[in-house]
Amino acid sequence: MAEIKRIKTGISGLDKLIEGGLLENSVTLVSGGTGTGKTILSMQFLKKLAENKEKVLYISTEENEKSIKEGFKIFGWDLDKLKIEVMNLGPDELEEEWEPLLSNKIDREKVKRVVIDSISLTGIYYRDEYSTRKYIYRLISSLKERNITCLLTSEVPENEKSLSKMGVEEFVCDGVILLQFLGMGGKYERGLTVRKMRWTNHTQETHPYKMVKGRGVVLGK
Ligand SMILES: Nc1ncnc2c1ncn2[C@@H]1O[C@H](COP(=O)(O)OP(=O)(O)OP(=O)(O)O)[C@@H](O)[C@H]1O
Ligand SMILES: [Mg+2]
């Protein structure tokens, strides 16, 4: 049997709670409300890998390349120096079938790790729910066939029990990491929960985390 390879997340304190990291060639959903750290956490994952000289790609559906690079510079990460390629898919691109383009790029350039931030807007081309669901299912399935390790972010409104916009993403993905603001007696605390991780004996607790400039998401008080 081939050795099972786990990919370190780069999130301080997380890997030891998930048997050493994410399974290679898996797709994990990072789900959470606004401002919970989805973008920073997913870039942190790529940063760790880029430092190990892996070919990584960050796809943004919400912010353009310039504003992402400028934002992360303020945060202490120079994406050009780190060799993290940023690709923006704006409304025009999202109106088209862009998945074949992405698959070609991944295959041609031998990209190993991909982030799509966020998956929530990728189905806007489709007018009805059934087609959007089918599209998202197809997109995630295609990523799973590509020998890449992937993080997809998904926005969920605060106080909602759902883990994704269309309600299919969490079932198709191999893992779900949930980021939340938790109300604690008038005080808010951030909490990270591994909601699912296939074939992994993962933590069952919600772990407090902080966001730290230059370091990203750091688990622990
Ligand atoms: N230097 C910093 N120190 C501490 N916390 C910070 C710092 N910079 C950003 N943050 C926190 O990170 C949050 C933004 O994180 P991020 O953009 O990853 O969230 P998100 O879940 O992707 O949000 P969005 O809904 O905009 O996509 C800010 O709202 C702030 O709380
Ligand atoms: Mg974001």
Q: What is the pLDDT of residues 174-191, one digit of tens each?
A: 999 999 998 777 788 899
Atom of ligand 1 nearest to the CA of 41: 18
pLDDT at 2: 65
Write down all domains in the chain, each with its CATH number in brackets.
Answer: 27-178 (3.40.50.300)
Contacting residues for 166 by C-beta, under 8 A, at least 6 apart? 123, 129, 132, 133, 136
pLDDT at 87: 94
pTM of the model: 0.94
DSSP single-letter state for residue 121: G
pLDDT at 208: 95
pLDDT at 129: 81
Q: What is the pLDDT of residues 109-121, one digit of tens each?
A: 999 999 999 988 7
Q: In testing the pocket of ligand 1, which one of 44, 156, 178, 211 has its CB within 8 Å of the most ligand atoms?
A: 211
Centroid of chain to Cα 104 = 20
* Rounded Cα distance, 218 and 14, in Å: 8
pLDDT at 97: 73
Q: Is 38 in the pocket of ligand 1 (CB under 6 A)?
A: yes
Residues of the chain short of pLDDT 70, as ranges, are: 1-2
